Structure 1
Amino acid sequence: MNKNYRPNVSAVVLTSRYPSSCEILIAKRLDMKDIWQFPQGGIDTGENPQDALRRELREEIGTDQIEILAQYPDWINYDFPSPVAHKFYPFDGQSQKYFLVRLKSDSLINIATENPEFSDYTFVKFDKIFDRIKHFKKPIYKQVLDYFKKEGFLSC
């Protein structure tokens, strides 16, 4: 059976103090209980991934004032978990392009956007990220962070 994946971007957002401080932004979803994640969102028809990344960051964290440090070389597919899959019909999951970005200023973050998706956000130290990320995307996040670290794009 062929699956229908929605094209999507996701951002590993480093604090503006990086590399002297290696902290990554995670945000708590409004629509799910205790789910923390990286900012992410769909790619509109005719939009390239970098433009989608900047638009999604504006929509979700109130700023696109970032420097793109790297991108994961491949698209990563995942299926929506069954309890929420019906909300995303006709898509079975998402095909994500991950970017590593550094904020130009942490003070620009504002999650009280026009259509808020997050109730809270925080910066966590690299070695503490999985104390908060416990959902089904944990292996994907680990794969992406390990790649950025191994390739020298992320020095933590």
Structure 2
Amino acid sequence: MKRPAMTTRPDRDALPYRDCVGVAVFNAEGNVLIGRRKADPNSEDRSEVAAPWQMPQGGIDKGEDPLRAALRELHEETNIVSVSLLAEAPEWIHYDLPDEALGIALKGRYRGQRQRWFAFAFTGKPSEIDVETPGGGKFPAEFDAWRWEKLSRTPSLIVPFKKPAYEKVVEAFADIPQRFTHV
């Protein structure tokens, strides 16, 4: 019987965090948009399949302003362009990949992500939201479904290793849902 080849896991402390943005888009009822991550059949990274719902997020390009990155990622993942800025989280929010995803997820180059989170009010019509063919198909779909959800519930819907980060997002934007319900 042939034994599987042993793989060496990278040294977590030697890997950097990937700079990234996260986007909380609130509707008129004070709920946030979440998308269900589309499984990539060609990827070895199965780290997010167990709990696939999340808010839009993505990498910051070299030299790109985080706010611009947030607007770009939002459009690339959801087709949304009709938003107004409500808030920015006061600090970077980090998460670490679990050991089993280290060296695989995020192209194997990062230990996790350092995220700058922004909250926006959605000012468009529901027909603007298109996660299956964002940008008219110009961008690859990252989600296969979406819905509105209470911000406070998002930590229970996210993949477990991101839960502490989502708890910080909820804390940073905790007052925003009340802004909509008391208008």
CA distance in 1, matches of 2:160, 2:81: 26
Gaps of 5+ in 2: 1-12, 40-48
Instruction: Give % identity.
Output: 33
Q: Is 2:86–2:119's contact at 8 Å kept on the other side of the alignment?
A: yes
Q: Among residues 109, 112, 115, which one is paired with 1:96 in the alignment? A: 115
Provide closer, same or farther for how the CA distance between residues 100 and 154 of structure 1 changes in structure 2, counting only shifts above 3 A: same
Q: Between Structure 1 and Structure 2, whose CA radius of gyration is higher? A: 2
Q: Is 1:54–1:64's contact at 8 Å kept on the other side of the alignment?
A: yes
**C-alpha offsets along residues 18-55 of structure 1, whole Å, 9 cap, x if unaligned?**
xxx12111111012244100100000011000110011
Question: What residue identity is the alignment partner of 1:7?
Answer: D
Q: TM-score, normalised by structure 2?
A: 0.74
- Greater share of residues in strand: 1
**C-alpha offsets along residues 86-125 of structure 1, whole Å, 9 cap, x if unaligned?**
1322111110001111111233110022200001110013
Cα RMSD, aligned residues only: 1.9
Q: Among residues 28, 31, 52, which one is paired with 2:36 in the alignment? A: 28
Q: Among residues 120, 124, 128, which one is paired with 1:108 in the alignment? A: 128
The structural deviation recorded for 1:134 is: 5.2
Q: Among residues 11, 20, 26, which one is paired with 1:8 in the alignment? A: 20
Q: TM-score, normalised by structure 1?
A: 0.85
Gaps of 5+ in 1: none
Task: Tell me the matched-pair count.
Answer: 150
SS for the counterpart of 1:116 is coil
